[in-house]
Amino acid sequence: MNEFFPDNEYKTPVDAPRYLGDRLFLGSRWYFIYEFAKIVFECRSHALRGGYDTAAWAQTSLDVFRCIEGCGGRFHVEGLNYLRENKNPVVIVGNHMSTLETVVLPALIAPFLEVTYVVKEKLVRGPIFSPVMKSRDPIVVGRQNPREDLQNVLTKGTEKLAGGSSIIIFPQSTRRVEFIPRQFNSLGVKLARKANVKVIPVALKTDFWSNGKILKGFGPLDRSSTIHFAFGPAMEITGNGSKQHAEIVNFIQQNLDRWGHPRYVED
């Protein structure tokens, strides 16, 4: 598969064109949602017909990436070399802020690594997104029984990694703008340790696309907020992995600080 971003860093050009429709809708979210929905239904149809492979998934993700830029989003992606130079399956662990990273990460990762997600059960049962998500053969967790979810991720994740597929995990229980270290569990590190693979951390700031009050995945757009992704070097898990887990948490927090994102203050 061809790389969409051949350099180690990508920044949206200052003069990147803006969709006329987005301007006509006075900067609201609605034109973006319209364009996003067209992409989703097209790839859903493709998935239902069969043959929706990793290359098609990555292309869909790139289409969403360009759609975001066309609606005023500005990206700054760093550390693509850490994906490029890694030839073996890895566990990719990051914070989870909005819907944006779920739909954009495949364009950044899939050109380098075969990859899938650990996802909530509702994503493979809904009428809209389920055909696409099922085609990616993700690891599904119910979030009702943590012990059962842990065993499911460790068992199926180890199988997928052994079969050549990397895995993206968001250890937070839900999407939220704040990064709360105590809510960032060590599931990704546990999986990497069991499967004897490395971990690549990814820090992200995606509050450009906020969480909605009624439909969580379709909140307003904040065009003043730059979209950031930073990948870090692959880490080998040693001992029980606590050291690497702390390093991942620090990597995310340090990048959020660098990007000017407010720290969560404990009560």
For every residue of 195-210, DSSP letters joined together read HT-EEEEEEEE-TTBP
- CA angle in degrees (0–180, nearest 5) for 117-99-149: 40
* CA 191, 104, 43, 28 torsion-angle sign: positive
What is the CATH class of 74-258?
alpha beta
Decide if 153 contacts 193 (C-beta within 8 A). Answer: no
Look at residue 247 in the predicted model and tell me its pLDDT.
98
- pLDDT score of 129: 87
50: left (phi over 0), alpha (psi -120 to 50) or beta: left
- 3-state SS, residue 267: coil
Whole-model pTM above 0.75? Answer: yes
User: d(Cα 200, Cα 180) in Å, to the nearest integer?
Assistant: 20
Distance (Å) of CA 154 to CA 103, 150, 157, 172, 235: 24, 6, 5, 17, 18
Query: What pLDDT was estimated at residue 122?
Result: 83
Specify the pLDDT at position 133.
92
Q: What is d(CA 211, CA 19) in angstroms, rounded to the nearest whole number?
A: 23
pLDDT of residue 239: 96
Strand-pairing partners, residue 77, are: 10, 229
- List, run by run, the mean pLDDT of 10-residue segments along the chain (267 residues): 91 95 89 95 94 95 97 98 95 96 97 94 84 93 83 96 97 88 94 98 96 73 96 97 98 98 80
Burial of 229: CB neighbours in 10 Å, binned 0-12, 13-18, 19+: buried
In this predicted structure, what is the pLDDT of residue 267?
Answer: 59
